[in-house]
Amino acid sequence: MEQAQALIILGKAIGAGIAMIGALGGGIGIGLAVSGAVQAMGRNPDHTPTIQTNMILGVAFAEAVAIYALVVALIILFVLQ
């Protein structure tokens, strides 16, 4: 019984860790988006509001993927019985 419990915890921890690898893509995506937006704003400061809006949107979409990974990890950790 004790060992079964430990195995479950082990499995959950490993699973959550693997799930969080998905955050990698989101991080890279956000980095690329912000990099491009900052360059654009530097070259074209007059269009900063438009660029910012679109940047936030892009970042939100990129982040969504990472958040899915996070949610999966959270579900594995706290919801799975």
Partner 1 sequence: MSPLDNLGINPGFLLVQIIAFIVLYTLLTRFIYDPLVNVLRERRARIAKGLEDAEAAAKARMNAENEAEKIRADARAEASKIIEEARQRAEQVGKDVEAAARQEAEKIRADARAAAAAERDAQLAGLRDQVVNIAVALSQRLIGGTLDAKRQKELVKDFFAKVPAEAKSLSGSVEVVSAMPLEDAEQQLVKKELGVDDVTFTVDPNILGGLVIRAGDRVVDGSVRSNLNKLASSLN
Partner 2 sequence: MRKGFWDGKRRYVALLMLIAGIFVALRVPPVVPIIQLPGEKYPPGTIELPFGLGVMTNTLMMSIIVWILLVILALYVRSRRPKSGAEVPRGGFYNLFEMVFEGLYGFVSGLAPERYFRPIFGMFMTIFLIVLLSNWAELLPGIDSVGFIEPHYEIVVDEETGEAQHVPTDGWEIYPAFLGGWALNGQCDWVSPEAEAQADADAFASAEQAAEEARAEAELELKQAGGHGEEATEAAAEESGHGEEATASTIDPDARAEEAFREAEAAYVAQKQARRDRGCYTGVAQIAWSDLDAKNFSDTTVEDDHAATEDEVAADAEHGETTDDLAAAGEEPSEENGGEEEEFHVDPNDPEQRKAWPFVVLPYIRSPSTDLNMTLALALSAMAMVQVIGFQALGLGYLRKFFAFENLFKSPLGAIDVFVGLLELIGEFAKVLSFAFRLLGNIFAGSILLFVMSFLVTVMPWPFFMLEFFVGIIQALVFALLTAIFMSLATVSHHHDDEHGEHAEEGAH
Residue 75 interacting with partner 1 (CB under 8 A): yes
Distance in angstroms (rounded) separating the CA atoms of residues 75 and 78: 5
User: Binding mask 17-56 vs partner 1 (x if CB under 8 A, - otherwise)?
Assistant: ----------------------------------------
**Which of partner 1, partner 2, none has residue 4 at its interface (CB below 5 to 8 Å by kind)?**
none
Which residues, 6 or more positions from 37, have their beta carbon under 8 angstroms from its beta carbon? 51, 52, 54, 55, 58
Give Cα separations from 79 to 7, 38, 44, 71, 75 (angstroms). Answer: 17, 39, 47, 10, 5
Q: Pick one of partner 2, partner 1, none as the site partner of residue 28 (Cβ within 5 to 8 A by kind).
A: none
Binding residues for partner 1, per CB under 8 A? 75, 79-81
